[in-house]
């Protein structure tokens, strides 16, 4: 390409040479581009180390997955019952009943969700699980 046709000749005396306001085209070479340029290409190793959640998707947690925030094991029912045979775990703020531990008595438990192991242990002890639907 002849010198007279190059952009550098055409924009003499223009200060920015068609790149907008002051400094918008400066210093972009040493960083591998402006901003997030190259995150899927030459900046991928930087992204994996420094910002692994940048693209915001975890295949092991689907978008509709809601993990219960409060739960109780069947081994803790004796402490919660305090001598009674009826337990309302939903009133205590418990969302799920899990099956770890041993059941001390026959309890009638009211809870929103439970595991099969918890249900089997409570029914084996002579109790039952009630759910509000």
In a shared domain, residues 98 and 55: no
Helices (H), 22-133: 44-50, 77-81, 116-124
The residue among 118 and 21 whose pLDDT is bigger is 118
- Judged against a pLDDT cut of 70, whether residue 133 lies above it is answered with no
**Same domain for 83 and 58?**
no
Q: What was the pLDDT predicted at 44?
A: 95
Q: Express each pLDDT in 72-91 by its tens digit.
A: 999 999 999 888 889 999 99
* Residues 42-58: tens digit of each pLDDT: 999 999 999 988 998 77
Residue 100 belongs to some domain of the structure: yes
Query: Is 104:77 a contact under the CB 8 Å cutoff?
Result: yes
52-74: average pLDDT: 86
Whole-number pLDDT of residue 7:
78
Percent pLDDT > 90 in the chain is: 52
Quote the domain boundaries for residue 116. Answer: 71-130
**CB-based contact 97:115 (threshold 8 Å):** yes
Query: Which contacts qualify for 82-87: CB closer than 8 Å, 24 or more apart?
Result: 85/127, 86/110
* The pLDDT of residue 18 is above 90: no
Do 128 and 114 form a contact (C-beta atoms < 8 A)?
no
* Of 111, 104, 110, the residue nearest 126 (C-alpha): 104
Q: How many domains does the chain have?
A: 2
């Amino acid at each position: 390409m002849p010198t007279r046709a190059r952009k550098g000749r055409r924009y003499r005396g223009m200060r920015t040479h068609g790149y907008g306001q002051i400094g918008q085209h400066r210093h972009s070479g040493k960083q591998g581009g402006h901003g997030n340029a190259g995150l899927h290409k030459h900046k991928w190793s930087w992204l994996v180390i420094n910002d692994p959640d940048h693209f915001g998707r975890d295949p092991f947690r689907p978008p509709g997955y809601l993990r219960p925030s409060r739960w109780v094991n069947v081994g803790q029912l004796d402490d919660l019952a305090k001598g009674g045979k009826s337990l309302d775990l939903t009133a205590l703020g418990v969302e799920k009943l899990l099956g770890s531990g041993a059941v001390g008595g026959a309890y009638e438990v009211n809870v929103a969700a439970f595991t099969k192991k918890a249900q089997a242990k409570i029914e084996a002890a002579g109790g039952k699980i009630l759910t509000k639907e």
